[in-house]
Amino acid sequence: MTELGEILAGGLSPDSTLSAMYEIENVLLLVKELDKKTEYYKELKKYRVQALDDKIHDISAKKDALRQITLNTMRVMAPKEKTLDFPSIGKVTRRSGSDALVVEDEEALLQYLDEQNRKSEVIKTTVVIDRRKLKSVISEYRKAGQPLPGTVLEKGKDTLSVTFDKAKDKAEETDEVSVELSEQLGEQLDGLLV
């Protein structure tokens, strides 16, 4: 069993055990700090991702507009040309677009194909196991002492739930202890939070 500071200094190993129960309070404070840092990074990531997505969208829109302008220019100024070559730069090629089938009334189409005995050629069926219902069925078989072929029961792992008090005076106390703890752990905590 080791002190929390030693655990942090030596790296976090899930196999470690604290030297005293009261140190769990310090762990809770660290977890709370790590949660705050995680939320900060999540928000920063959203901001940065959105800004980059917007920039990429703007660039794509400009590129699409330039392609359309080039196509329009070829139609007007060189209607008989399919390809224009610009040595040392590149070339542009105009192609006729492919026709696209638009299904406006799926029900009418399927009814017609059914009448023509061709519906099965265009229908795709996907089989999906309903996990909630399967759990109930497996439970019935287990109660009856029958195994269900193709299944294995994996033992669930123990979990830990961490909740933080929302009381105002507790929050002030927590912040004070958190600052004190952060100062005590110094670079060890900073290394963890980065």
- For residues 17 and 95, state if they share a domain: yes
Q: Identify whether residues 96 and 142 lie together within a single domain.
A: no
Shared domain for 67 and 118, answered yes or no, is: no
**Same domain as 60, residue 3:** yes
Do 84 and 8 share a structural domain?
A: yes
What domain count does the chain have? 2
Mean pLDDT, the chain, rounded, equals 80
3 and 94 fall within a common domain: yes
- SS3 at position 148: coil
pTM above 0.85, yes or no: no
% the chain with pLDDT above 70: 76
Residue 3: C-alpha distances to residues 70, 87, 177, 181 (Å): 70, 71, 17, 13
Q: Looking at the domain assignment, is residue 58 inside a domain?
A: yes
Which range marks the domain in which residue 128 is found? 106-152
Q: Do 59 and 127 sit in the same domain of this protein?
A: no
Long-range contacts of 12-18 (CB under 8 A, 24+ apart): 12/192
Residues 78 and 2 in one domain: yes
**What is the mean predicted confidence (pLDDT) over 64-76?**
90
Q: Is the same domain home to 93 and 113?
A: no
Residues 30 and 93 in one domain: yes
pLDDT at 105 (0 to 100): 94
Poorest-confidence range of 27-31, 74-78, 188-192? Answer: 188-192
Co-location of 12 and 92 in the same domain: yes
157 falls within a domain? no
Residue 128: band (very low, low, confident or very high) from pLDDT cuts 50, 70, 90? very high
Q: Is residue 147 part of a domain?
A: yes
Instruction: Give CA–CA dist 21/28, Å, rounded.
Output: 12
Is residue 39 located within the same domain as residue 8?
A: yes
Q: Report if residue 73 sits inside a domain.
A: yes
Least confident of 9-18, 49-58, 150-159, 181-190: 181-190
In a domain, 6, yes or no: yes
Rounded average pLDDT over 80-91 = 88
Please tell me the predicted confidence (pLDDT) of residue 189.
46
Closest CA to 123 of 133, 134, 136, 109: 109
